[in-house]
A and B are shown apart, each in its own frame.
Chain A
Amino acid sequence: MKKVIRMTVLAILLAILLFGGCSHKPAIWEIPPATEQASPELMEKIRNAGSRMDYPNAQSIVIEDIDSTIFTPEGNFTLYSYSLVKLTTLKGAKDYGTIGLSYDTMFFKVEIPMARVIKEDGTIINVPDSSITDETIGEMAMMDVFWTNLRQKVVNFQELSSGATIEYMVIYRSLKPRFEGIFDHTHYFQSDEPIKHSRSVVVGPALMPLNWKIRNDTGKLITFTQSKKGDLLKYCWEGWDIPQVILEEGMPPFTDMALVLLSSTTTWKEYSKKVYEYVEPVMQTNQAIEDKVAELTAGKDSEYDKIRAIFYYVAQKIRYLGLAMDPREGIQPHEVIQTFEKQAGVCKDKASLLAAMLQSAGIEAYYVLSNPMNHVDKDVAASQFNHAITLAVTRDGKRYFLDSTDEFVMDMLPAYHQEKAVLVCDEDGEELEYLPTQPPEQNSGLVKINSTIQSGGNLTGTVTLSGKGIYDEVIRQIVRLQEGAQLKKFIERLVYQVNPNARLLDFQIRPEPIMDLYQPAQITINFEIDEYAIVAGKYLLIKPIGLDNSFDIFVNTYLTMFTQLETRQFPLAIQFTSGIVNEEEIVLPGGYLPKVLPQDKNLDLDPASLSMEYHYEGNKLYFKNSLMLNKATIPPEEYPDLRKVKKESSQAASSLAIFVREDEI
């Protein structure tokens, strides 16, 4: 530990001499001597940072959040990070009890030259080496990715209490660049806690200038300065008193909403080319692959049918599994021959194999980077991708983006990619583009219900559930993940949701097997419900089953979940457009005539639409309703309209078709 500190101090001092901070104040990077008491200056800084009274919604206050990075023409870099965090509540003390610092052993070495607790009275408790552990990352294992190169350093702080402060330094040294000759850097100027001071400094060759942007800085909180010394350029971004982000349910990823610096020495075109150079060498096929392609495309006349056949194979037969095999694990796909032979791989492996197989079939195809979760900024070509898909282009110029990681998607691209960025990688390089919004009808469910009500109010019925796009996908997932007896239990639960007196009689699933993506998925359920219709004296009260979307599997739930807050500060990220349509026919018992039917409704607003129709004819009640979520992301100013649709929908759920006995009229 001591040797590391000495060497680190040397390197840091060198940087300090050249570039100490944005101003000429003494730099932070001096490792303080081992001492039992914090310096008066440090204690004053901590005291002046404020308390819980000043920040009632904070669990801690980030007093300093600093990083300084030096990069080389090859793209290697060393990043020095310093943090000083005051814990203003007991919860904050517990939350900061451990911090995890993720890194990739193939690309980084991480050192923690300092980690300590400064108690309220100034006493310092250094974190011993034994309290810094190195672990794999649990979330990766849960996704069946077992790359042991993805790790985290876990720092365990002792004697934390409300009012204590933690202070730590981390040094990241790159072992090799992700992409030769490219450097990019991201710094978050905002968090879910208030930040008193945040600074990011980057020093690099003047011949590799940075293109940069501060995203979401509507208040112009971040200042920028730039200077040159010899062949080196120094960039400095700095901000003070940056407010915390109070998290809201359903908001886009925090990283999309926060104040963030994005910087890069490259452009999207160059980035695209670079990725192509990494991927192209692995795309060589062999006879086995070509034989498979021939087998899959035999008898298929159109390019589209060939694409579909090959896509379904890669999506369903190549298992999603992450095993570390290569020196550039995480960046470069495995050789497609290897992925094919192992019949397993993660998104990059499947995407490249799919592209290679399509090319083998004579179809123009490309490896594509994407991020279905976060917004990718088009202005700065910084690393913002976390996924790989494939693009196929038919001779008539039609483009098909294909996500072979998803084995349930009939349309070959899941709905959650809409409005998200993609970067096609080819030898000329391409610009970033965004996928279009899909109309909700392309992802909506259809519930058809036919039922008969007896005079005592008992009901027997049949419901058929089907859908398009993501709705079809969800149906398949439900069936696939619960094959056998558990599926029956799921459907029992679905029926029970309609009414606690409901009983499942039987059900059928189509197609068989459910993973036949050439056929739409459909569940048909036969059920009965005792005393469904309410006999209230002379009245018979009937609520159409589709009225509160009882058989809908997610759209109404989303709407309920995401309209509970009265107002929103942030957009609502539903991730995809979708909808649900119920069509119902109810045969009534004899001897009743309609007294009052609920009014039809029609509400068509930007974020969502709702319609309801009732119709009585020939002793039958017909009901149809439709609920459409028209946008994947709803801006805060449109949120009241979404809530309005929900209120109308909920109020309508209290409606009843009221029939009166003929002899009472």
Chain B
Amino acid sequence: MKSNKYYWPGILAILLTGVLINLMVTAAAFSQPTDLSPKFQELIQNAPSGSDYPDADVVILYTELKYTLLPDGHYSKNFHYLIKSFNYMGKKEYGNFKIQFDAEYEEVEIETARTFNGLDKVDNVDQNSINIIDPPGLERASIYSNVKQKVISFPSMQDTSVIELRGELRTIKQPEEPYFSNKILLLDTNPILEKIIIVEVPENTVLKHYCGNGAPQPAVSGKSYRWEVKDHPGIIMESGTPPYSEFLPVVYYSTAPDWDFVGSFLRDKFKSPVEPDDKISAKVASIITSDDKVDQLWEIFYYVADKVRNVHLPLGIAGYQPNPASLVLSNSYADTRDKCVLLISMLQSNGISAFPALVNDAGNHIRKDIPFLDQFNKMLVVAQCEGQKIWLDPFTDDALFGYIPDCLGEEALVIYNDRAVFETVQGPPHIKDLVSSQYDLELNPEGGLKGNLTVSMNGYFDQRFRSNLKDARPKQVEMELEKSASSVASGAQLTDYDLSDLNDLTKPSSLSLGFEAEKYASIQQNMLIFYIPTQSLDFTGIELPIFSETREFPILLTTTLERQNRYTITIPEGYEIEYIPESKTIKNEVGSFEINSDQRGQEISYNYHLKVDHKRIDPEQYSEFKALVKNLLSPKNRLVLLEAVDQK
């Protein structure tokens, strides 16, 4: 191999070019931006350092967001950010600033985007650094929406740079919604030196607003509402919290007078699309097999849930106008609006009244005093059939009929023909969030374990289990079950299994699997030692965040929780039990945990039962919650020690 050669004429050219460039860079480097006000110059010059906020990745030096509603219904959002990064993660988070917008209705103009590495080194972002992309996660839904992200990249941003971004998002077409609304978090995890939120509406417009979780009331001047945050130290976020707006200072506002107004807007959108036509009627006729009206409802529901492909698009992101039901039927794909339109239309065609309902399944409570649709992120259908009110989620094709993941007990806005009212989402009372396992195990003197595990799942656990396996190929199902057997006892072989029909949404799912593990218990001289397995099936588990000693913020679990495991363990002849976990019961405000262990001859029976009654665990309840879960996981509560009788 030869190394590159430098050619003398080239070197001269390079040197000259280098000198010129250096001069230019030097000239630029020592000029301070003339459009920067003294206030901002000082902010940048005297910006805090990482040691001032050791737990933060960035500090917000200044943010101003101004939301303006114009008399003709158009709106704009002016933004100005001045952010200092402290470290790698700060650079990663803000180095590519993304602004989402609906390209059909909105445009984003960038006025200023630059990086400060000191006041004497300012790099303006050039056009190559501003790109419009389809947002990750929304790809392949472009058939439905024109949502884009404008990405402003700051190439010369270092770990401790300051970036400035100023611009405007504004409407280019009359907005769809006949009101102006928003939900704004005043604080987030980052420390803030100064943040200003301004909302301005026209003279004759009434703006309802709500300031929650300690957010201050605005300073009002005419039709201008102003909130200010100063010197916020930042928040150390914890895992498993509810949405931030549930416990951090937040502002809601809307110009909609009431929910009837909002409901009327949506009702008008749905009125025509839900009208059944011949195509819809023919399809309904082709899928109905039962004589019972309620069963017919479930047949129609299952068709829409199962046969029509879900297009995952958050509600509202592409507006609220659904497509006509027969078009949705033709397409065989639909987002949440269109699925509801199709379901309502098909039910109505079959003489069953049905109405759209909006809900939030992410744990956000709805502010009833501030009406606007963006508080909801999901659409359901409420059907009235044979005197029953039945709640339906056509986006979920892998849950027991009537079970609506994450929504049960939540308040939904139901849009009836003549009114919009709040009602609580109900599910069938017989469906509980429960997983129960029965282990029948036999240990041999060589430490091998043979056994059978039967698991019954209901509610949330049933849905999790189904969603993983329902559409999997037979070979993949087998591989998953092999892995499950291995998770019970490492290296275990799956000997047989029996899986319930996962397409039958009338019955909870169940699984029975037989396994053999050659090496399970540890043999130490005359002793056999093993731990009672607790892991049922990997994909029905949920994380219980009890790593910290204390908590500042609440926990929001995915579901209430009830887990029952029963064991019958036959120990080899010639062995006695030296140690098994003690029976115990713990009951507190959060729930209960119980172990019952017993021995009869060569048989150990061991049961545990964990119950957590609430999805939300407040900080003051954390220690009690932790006490329950710790006991479930403690090795001491799973250890079994056997000793050979004749060698004692």
By a beta-carbon cutoff of 8 Å, the part of chain A in contact with chain B is 56-59, 89-91, 93-94, 97-98, 100, 125, 131, 133, 135-139, 141-142, 144, 146, 148, 152, 154, 156, 158-161, 246-249, 280, 283-288, 290, 317, 319, 321, 323-325, 337, 341-344, 359, 364, 366, 393, 424, 426-428, 430, 480-486, 489, 492-493, 495-496, 499-501, 503-504, 515, 531, 534, 536-537, 539, 541, 543, 560, 563-566, 596-599, 643-644, 646-656, 658
B1 to nearest A CB, angstroms?
5
Chain A to chain B contacts (Cβ below 8 Å), 15 pairs: A91-B471, A93-B309, A135-B134, A135-B139, A138-B137, A246-B476, A247-B476, A248-B479, A288-B18, A319-B155, A359-B4, A565-B483, A650-B519, A656-B524, A656-B641
Give which listed residue, B2, B524, B633, contacts A426 with CB less than 8 A.
B2
Are A539 and B579 interface neighbours, CB within 8 A? yes
CA distance A656 to B579 in the complex (A): 13
Are A159 and B330 interface neighbours, CB within 8 A? yes
A539 contacts across to B, CB distance below 8 A: 578-579, 641
CA distance A324 to B139 in the complex (A): 21
CA distance A486 to B55 in the complex (A): 8
Asked if B206 CB lies within 8 Å of chain A CBs, one says no
Asked if B494 CB lies within 8 Å of chain A CBs, one says yes
| Closest A residue by C-beta to B156 | A343
Identify 16 new A-B residue pairs, CB closer than 8 A, beyond the known A563-B491, A647-B491, A654-B521: A91-B471, A138-B133, A139-B136, A154-B143, A249-B483, A319-B91, A323-B153, A343-B156, A489-B239, A493-B547, A499-B635, A541-B639, A643-B491, A646-B491, A647-B517, A650-B491
Give which listed residue, A286, A495, A499, contacts B14 with CB less than 8 A.
A286
With A154-B142, A500-B629 already in contact, the answer to whether A246 and B473 are too (CB < 8 A) is yes
Are A57 and B238 interface neighbours, CB within 8 A? no
CA distance A593 to B135 in the complex (A): 65
B548 contacts across to A, CB distance below 8 A: 489, 492
Asked if B3 CB lies within 8 Å of chain A CBs, one says yes
A195 to nearest B CB, angstroms?
16
Most A CB contacts (10 A, CB to CB) among B136, B236, B547 go to: B547
CA distance A114 to B280 in the complex (A): 29
A430 to nearest B CB, angstroms?
7
Are A647 and B518 interface neighbours, CB within 8 A? yes
Are A146 and B131 interface neighbours, CB within 8 A? yes
B322 to nearest A CB, angstroms?
17
CA distance A537 to B139 in the complex (A): 62
B18 contacts across to A, CB distance below 8 A: 285-288, 290
Are A647 and B490 interface neighbours, CB within 8 A? yes
Give which listed residue, A148, A321, A366, contacts B132 with CB less than 8 A.
A148
Are A654 and B522 interface neighbours, CB within 8 A? yes
Are B155 and A344 interface neighbours, CB within 8 A? yes
Asked if B70 CB lies within 8 Å of chain A CBs, one says no
Asked if B482 CB lies within 8 Å of chain A CBs, one says yes
Asked if B424 CB lies within 8 Å of chain A CBs, one says no
Give which listed residue, B14, B133, B519, contacts A284 with CB less than 8 A.
B14
Chain B, 312-336, CB within 8 A of any chain A CB: 330-333
Most B CB contacts (10 A, CB to CB) among A59, A141, A152 go to: A141
Asked if B282 CB lies within 8 Å of chain A CBs, one says no
Are B17 and A484 interface neighbours, CB within 8 A? no
A543 contacts across to B, CB distance below 8 A: 635
A366 to nearest B CB, angstroms?
7
Give which listed residue, A284, A500, A598, contacts B524 with CB less than 8 A.
A598
A492 contacts across to B, CB distance below 8 A: 547-549
CA distance A534 to B54 in the complex (A): 39
Give which listed residue, A58, A97, A599, A643, contacts B309 with CB less than 8 A.
A97
A286 contacts across to B, CB distance below 8 A: 14, 17-18, 21-22
With A287-B22, A481-B88, A501-B634 already in contact, the answer to whether A566 and B14 are too (CB < 8 A) is no
B634 contacts across to A, CB distance below 8 A: 499-501
Most B CB contacts (10 A, CB to CB) among A483, A537, A648 go to: A483
Most A CB contacts (10 A, CB to CB) among B137, B482, B491, B630 go to: B491
With A97-B309, A141-B151 already in contact, the answer to whether A598 and B471 are too (CB < 8 A) is no
Question: Which 3 residue pairs of A and B lie closest in terms of their CB atoms, listed nearest first?
Answer: A650-B490, A647-B491, A138-B136
With A647-B491, A651-B519 already in contact, the answer to whether A541 and B641 are too (CB < 8 A) is yes
Most B CB contacts (10 A, CB to CB) among A135, A495, A643 go to: A135
Asked if B447 CB lies within 8 Å of chain A CBs, one says yes
Contact with A along B510-537 (1 / 0, CB 8 A): 0000000111111011110111000000
CA distance A509 to B379 in the complex (A): 48
Asked if B474 CB lies within 8 Å of chain A CBs, one says yes
Give which listed residue, B236, B529, B636, contacts A655 with CB less than 8 A.
B529
Contact with A along B599-623 (1 / 0, CB 8 A): 0000000000000000000000000
With A133-B142, A654-B521 already in contact, the answer to whether A156 and B333 are too (CB < 8 A) is yes
A89 contacts across to B, CB distance below 8 A: 471
CA distance A424 to B521 in the complex (A): 53
With A359-B4, A484-B55, A539-B579 already in contact, the answer to whether A646 and B490 are too (CB < 8 A) is yes
Are A148 and B131 interface neighbours, CB within 8 A? yes
With A500-B630, A536-B641 already in contact, the answer to whether A564 and B155 are too (CB < 8 A) is no
B494 contacts across to A, CB distance below 8 A: 566
